[in-house]
Amino acid sequence: MAEHRRPMIFLLACLVPCQAAEAWGSLHDGLQAWEAFKFDTDFTYEVTVGQPPKTVFSYPHKTTFNNKSQHSQLEAPHNPKFNINIVSKTGAKTELLRNVTTPHVAAILGSQDPGATQGKGSVSREHLLAQGGGLTLPGLLEAAGAKPKKGDKWQILRDAVDVWASLQFDVNFTVNIGTAEGTLFTYTKGSTGMHTRLPGASLSKWPAALMISGLVADGTLSYDDKANKHLKWWASDPKDPRSNITLRHFLTFQSGYMKDGHAPLKCMLPSADYLTCAEGLYKNQKLGAPPGTSFAYLSCHLQFAGAMAVAATGLSPDKLFQKYLYGPLDMTETTWTPLKNPQMATGITTTGSDFEKMMHKMLSYEFLGKKVLDEMERDWSAPPVSPSGDGWFGHYGMGHWFDCIGYAAGQEAGASAPLTEFCLGESIQAGPGAYAYFPLIDRKRGYYFQIVVAEDSSCRSEIPEYLRVIAKPVVDAIIEGTPIDDKHLLSRMGGLVLREITDIYNYIPPQCKPRALEWPPVAEEMSPQGIVI
């Protein structure tokens, strides 16, 4: 998720440093989103400090101060006491809005920017949620005015999916949950069901890495094999740092390549030879860092790992997928394109049903086995690797994220920051793609969870991650039999902070302009052999 720059909405008195105006703008944007979603459609919101009370922010009106002496009088100590006054003209409850925004206001008055997702002055999700500053799944139902329906223990999740769709956050999607014993919950809204074939983009990375790791499981490859052991055209001179790159470096995205390259144009042809194109890609790329020191979310890593697999077995990529992925998992609705020269990192077209088969057999360790999967599911990009991740989804395992949504906020190191203790303890493995499909595995509680969807990459493509944020702690509670209330859910990071509510608003029409979903991806997103999604 990219951090969004927000306009300077207000002329503020120098109650806090004047550069905090953008932080106040983040509050305005959040309130605007709240109103746009019709959680309340006619209300006023005012922040005051001091005695007698002085207004430092108001919505929907701008707060301006034109008198210099008035500016001086409004100066206040760091993090002053404040009051929030909310008046709803529709009679809507205001306590929920107060709870969500109070930590946001406190951070601004403490000279921080709670609208920022990383860097100096940013505020962590954990800090905001610990103070009640998050919209939980039950809170979303309340804000949307949804009346609880009678049903089984999963009814609250059905209600939430109904509300999510009614708000147009996502339209055609399925939520699917299961354990090693089988499916627990499947609920579809719109036209995207469990057997709808969907383009996956970076959804490809996890199953592609699993396929290649199948060769490790049967002894054909080792994670510590150097590329030059199997690829005759790979550097072997010890003075060339590329000679030290291993399969492990490729699968953890730490080969040292920091930019994707391009293979010859002939490699766009479906008949192109995979190894020849991989060699062409290799010759057109330069190493940007010593192997094992920097994480980069690129496609070339898996293309080269695939080349090692092809060279080690003599099998074409389509036969590798059949032998090491489709066959063992009975995945009958999945393909990679092009057939003979596939984009390992982005070429998948699949279904929720096939992905469920994959996650089910991973969860039970029936596929690949515990030794290999334990190796794949480590936090491989933890410091001193720098960057360690993307600043948002988390760090990296092998071909998938070590999940920790929003981890860089509150840490000046940004994308090079360590994961939070909470995320390390949870050890969630996730593999979302650019078209928003979001699968994860929770080994601690023994279940898989997926949001089956293919969204426009220009609109809504960032939104299912937020459904994951508020829905997963509810699933945890259902499976563990613990309370489903705000206190418990917020302690498990199960709430949307104000900046995330704003982000949802920015990624639905008319704030964004939809375009038809294209497959393969459009030219600006795809190169002959390398693509970042």
Domains of the chain as residue ranges with CATH = 18-115 (no CATH), 189-525 (3.40.710.10)
DSSP conformation letters of 328-378: HHT--S-EESSSSS--TTT-EEE-HHHHHHHHHHHHTT-SS-HHHHHHHTS
pLDDT per 10-residue tile (average), the chain, 533 residues: 32 40 89 96 94 93 41 44 94 93 96 93 96 97 94 97 96 97 97 97 97 98 98 97 98 97 88 95 96 98 98 98 98 95 96 98 98 98 98 98 97 96 97 96 98 91 95 98 96 97 95 70 34 33
**Which has the closest alpha carbon to 4: 81, 113, 79, 101?**
113
For the chain, how many residues are written?
A: 533
The pLDDT value given to residue 23: 84
Burial class (CB in 10 A: 0-12, 13-18, 19+), 382: middle
Which region, left, alpha or beta, applies to residue 423 given φ > 0 means left and ψ of -120 to 50 means alpha? alpha
pLDDT of residue 519: 47
Distance CA 22, CA 335 (A): 46
Closest CA to 71 of 60, 57, 56: 56
Beta bridge partners, 448, equal: 178, 441
Predicted local distance difference test score (pLDDT) of residue 79: 61
Helix (H) or strand (E) holding 254: none
Mean model confidence pLDDT for the chain: 90
Q: What is the pLDDT of residue 302?
A: 98
Per-residue pLDDT tens over the stretch 174-219 = 999 999 999 999 999 999 999 999 999 999 999 999 999 999 999 9
- Cβ–Cβ < 8 Å for 354, 329: yes
Q: How far apart are CA 274 and CA 18, in angstroms?
A: 57
Q: Are 519 and 198 within 8 A, CB to CB?
A: no
Strand partners, 183: 178
Question: Whole-angstrom Cα distance, residue 476 to residue 143?
Answer: 22
529, 277 contact by CB (below 8 A)? yes
C-alpha 141/C-alpha 148 separation (Å) is 8
For residues 320 and 330, give the distance between their C-alpha atoms in angstroms, rounded to a whole number: 14
Work out whether the CA dihedral 67, 73, 78, 82 comes out positive or negative.
negative
The side-by-side arrangement of strands in the sheet containing 43-49 is 54-59, 43-49, 82-88
The Cα–Cα gap between 411 and 171 comes to: 35
Q: Residue 15 burial (CB < 10 Å; 0-12/13-18/19+)? A: buried
Q: Compute the distance between CA of residue 274 and CA of residue 322 in angstroms, rounded to an integer.
A: 16
For 356, other C-beta atoms within 10 Å of its C-beta total 23
HSE-up of residue 489 (Cα within 13 Å, Cβ side):
26
pLDDT at 268: 86
At residue 9's C-alpha, the angle toward residues 83 and 76, to 5°, is 40
- Which pair of tokens denotes residue 369? 């086995």
* Contacts with 38 (C-beta within 8 Å, 6 or more apart), sequence order: 144
Q: Which residues pair with 401 in a beta bridge?
A: 396, 430
Cα–Cα–Cα angle for 417, 302, 399, rounded to 5 degrees: 45
Distances (CA, A) of 348 to 199, 382, 396, 514: 6, 28, 20, 22
Q: What angle, 0 to 180 degrees and rounded to 10, lies between the N-to-C axes of helices 464-480 and 498-506?
A: 130
**Could you give the 3-state DSSP secondary structure of residue 404?**
coil
Place of tokens 């090491």: 324
Q: Which helix (H) or strand (E) holds 327?
A: helix 327-329
Query: Tokens 């563990």 correspond to what residue?
Result: 480
45 bridge partner residues: 59, 86
Closest CA to 186 of 458, 487, 450, 498: 450
